[in-house]
Each structure stands twice: as C-alpha cells, then as structure tokens.
Structure 1
Amino acid sequence: MDHETDVRLAAGPDESRYLDAVFVPGAQLGTRSDDPTAFVRVVEVRDVTKIRIPSGRLVVDSPWPEDDDPLPGPHVGRELAVRIPAGVFRVEAAWTEAPYEFMGERFADREVAAVRLCITEDAVTRWEMALGVEDDIETVHAGERVGFDSETGMGCFADAAAWEALTAPFRAFWKGAREGIGQPRDTESLCNDFFERVSDEGHGADLLAFTAEGACAVWLGRTATGALASVAVADGYHAVAGNPGR
C-alpha cells in the first residue's frame, strides 16, 4: 500500500520547491533574504562520504551536549520514528553562492545549503517532515515545524544504537573546553572542515556532522509510491527570499 502523507507533515509549496531545487546544480533558489538584488544559486552538488547505519535507526540532531546535560553521559539524540534499511548510505551536499559586497569588496558567500542521506536513487516526488520517536502527531498543527534545535551550529546523521560512542569526541571536547583544556577534537574533517565524521568499529557505525543553525526540520523525500528515498536537512532555506526556480 502506498504511503499517505499526513497533511500536517507535508511540506508547503515554497519548501517543496526549495527542496526539489537545492540538489540541482545551477538552480536559482531565489535571492538573499537581506538583499533582494543578490541571487542564490546552487554551484555544486557532490557526495561527502558514505556512512554506516547498521541498526536502521537514524538520529538527526546536534551531536553536542546541552548546557544542562550531565557529563560525561550524552544527551538523548532525536531518533526518527521512520526506519531505514540497515546498510551503508551516501551523504550528498549542496553548496550555494550568493555574492555580497562589504567595504568595497565582493564576496561569494559559499555555504552548504542542504544535506541529504540517500536511501535509494529513486526520484523524490514529495516531502514530509520527519517525526521523532517521542513526537505525537496529534500535537502538530498544519504549518508548524518540528525537528531538532541546534544552538551550536551543528547537526548530524548517526546510527541511534551507537549514539553514545559516536558522540564521545564531542563530549570530550566540550568537557575539556569547560575545564579550560585546549585539545583537538577526535573527528575526521571532510570537505575543508564543512563536515566531521566519527566512526565506531565496535558497532560498525558512523556519524556525519554538518552545519545546522537554530530550529531545523528534518525532511523525508518520498517517491511516487511513497517509498522513502532520502532524509534531508535544508539549513539554507530561511536565508532565501522568493521562490526557487531555474
């Protein structure tokens, strides 16, 4: 039976257009929200890495502890209610540029506007918000956005069963910083520090961290039959004004 998207979770027209366009090289997403003369364009879409999710349970959340978290334990990551097949999945990122001028100089303002975990290679025909395992659909109203909050400027994809092990480098760095101890973070930098990867061989699982600011919805891309094709976070959506187009 085809999956039916609850209207309370369905992406609105502007969000759908943005999500459809942001992974298309050369697409114009609109203009900068603070400058209607500066166009935001997708300049590159490419694979970042592949990550292992052997449990089929996916967390999309900030990997960092919160201020009120007891250390050294991890905070509880937001595990998605949807399940994915156990396996290895590629992560794709879309970079945009929106030129601006500052003190007589021009800057490209290149940034990662969206990332997605590719479950299949099938075409996405609709988008819906992903509920967490503790979310109640009956408390969600049409137009409301649910997701994770990131006050640290970072989100991640990670295997839920390995969450404690995979977030350990972030907790150790956080603890050291609070104690005034400077130390490098035990993560692998990818794509000129735009991403960080952590692997745990005990679980055979990985975490990939990416830029995410403030309140972030997590989007499920579904095919015409309702099958899950991708899980995406579009951090650049609120920085764009106008409707995406080509």
Structure 2
Amino acid sequence: MEWVGDPRLAAGPEAAAYLEAAFTPGAELGTVYDDPTTPVVVTGIEELTTIRVPSGRLVVDAPWHDDEAYDYQRGLPTTPPRELAVRIRPGTYRVEIAWTAGPYEFMGEHCDGIERAATRLCLSDEPVVGWEMGLGVEDDIDRLQPGEEPRFFSDANVGCFADAGAWTALSAPFRTFSDDVPVPRSSEQLADGCERVRDASHQADLVTFEAESGGIVWLGRTKTGDVAAIVVTTGMPGAKA
C-alpha cells in the first residue's frame, strides 16, 4: 500500500517544488531580489559531515537559546529541545548543504550571491514521492491552523541535528558563558562555520548549520511512507492553506 499523508501537513505546490529543486544542481530557485532577469541557480550539493543517531530520536532545533543558557549556568532546568515526533532507524547519516548562486550588483560592486538553499539529513537513497512538515513531540496536529508552519526558532541563526538521547551532553558546550560572553568550546570545526560535537559515552553527535531565525523541518517520504530525507529550510513558502 502506498503512503498517503495527512493533507494538513502536506507541502503546498510552491514548497514542494522548492524542496525538489534545492538538491538538483542546475535547477533554478526563483530570481535575484529586485532583478527578475537573473535566476538563482543551485550550484552544487556539499556533504558537510556525518552524524550518529543511535537512539533513533532526532532533535532539530537551535543548540542553545539565549535565555536558557543563563538558566543552565545557574543550575536551573531548561526546556526540552524540539525533538521530532517521527522516529528514524538508528545509524550514521550524511548531512548535506545545497548551495545557490544569484549574482548581483551592490554599490557598483559585483557580488556572486552564494547562499545556502537548504540543509538535508540523508536517511536513504529511496526516491521521495511527497513532502510534509515534521511535527515535534509536543505539537498537536489537531490544533494546527490553516497555513501554520510548525518550526524551531534560533536567537543566533544556528540550527542543529542531534541525537535526542544524548542531548544534555551534546548541547552543554553551547551553554557555557563567562560574563555574558560565550566561552570557546571544544567542538570540531567543519566547513563554512558549522560545528560537530561528539559524545563518546553515547556514541552520538550534534551537527550545527546556518538557520536564519530558525527553520521549518520537512520530511521527505517514500512511496511506502518511510522517511528518506529530513530537510530544513528558512524563509520560503510552506504548507497548504
């Protein structure tokens, strides 16, 4: 039996087209702002790193929030991260970034307009037949309003994928401050300013990526309903109204 998703979570036509095109080199993702004659083109897909998720439970959230960082330093409890309701098979997966270019002129100077289009966690190579918004464990689909887009928020424009079972240890390096200034952390610096934190006791990882103000999480489903990809986008149209 083929998968049939809940229409309340389904990506609208514009969002679905964006998600399909974002990881297709050479595809066009609209045009440059204020210049309808210049397309924004997908220039390539970069494999950023791999991530271990032994618990099968995935957090997609900011690695820290400013208000909670200070609670953490004072030994106060912090709210749980945004863990996805969907479960994935425990394993190690690729994290990829889709890059675009949309050249433009600014104050007489030429700019290449290179930007991230989306970030993807690759769970399998099976074809995706449909996209739906990924709910968190605390989200209630029956309270979802038409056009509402469940998402995570980020004070520092940073998101992450992380194993939920090791969240406390994995997120701890991001919550250390001295006189309101972040303390340098012992994380692995990846390309393009991203980071990876590894926890030996759980054999689990956290990987950060750019997420302006946060992002919407999308699940790419196969014809059998399995999740083949989890994609984070920012600032683009979402679900059906």
In the TM superposition, what are the counterparts of 1:1-246 in structure 2 within 5 Å? Answer: 1-68=1-68, 70-72=71-73, 74-172=78-176, 175-176=177-178, 178=180, 180=181, 183-193=183-193, 195-235=194-234, 237=236
Q: 1:151 to 1:37 in 2, by over 3 A?
A: farther
Q: Deviations over 1:180-229 (max 9, x none)?
A: 4x642322111132x21111111100011001112521000011222210
Q: 1:177 to 1:157 in 2, by over 3 A?
A: farther
* Residue in 2 that maps onto 1:242: none
Q: Higher mean Cα deviation, 213-222 or 130-139?
A: 213-222
* Displacement after TM superposition at 1:3 (Å): 3.5
- Conserved 8 A contact 2:32-2:103: no
* Displacement after TM superposition at 1:68 (Å): 4.8
* Displacement after TM superposition at 1:37 (Å): 3.5
- Conserved 8 A contact 2:3-2:223: no
Please report the RMSD computed on the Cα atoms of aligned residues, expressed in angstroms. 1.8
- Conserved 8 A contact 2:159-2:214: no
Distance in 2, matches of 1:144 and 1:218, equals 13
* Displacement after TM superposition at 1:76 (Å): 1.7
Q: 1:130 to 1:91 in 2, by over 3 A?
A: same
Give the gaps of 5 or more residues in structure 2: none
* Displacement after TM superposition at 1:151 (Å): 2.3
Normalization by structure 1: what TM-score?
Answer: 0.89
Identity of aligned residues (%): 52
* Displacement after TM superposition at 1:114 (Å): 0.6
* Displacement after TM superposition at 1:168 (Å): 1.1
Distance in 2, matches of 1:236 and 1:135, equals 21
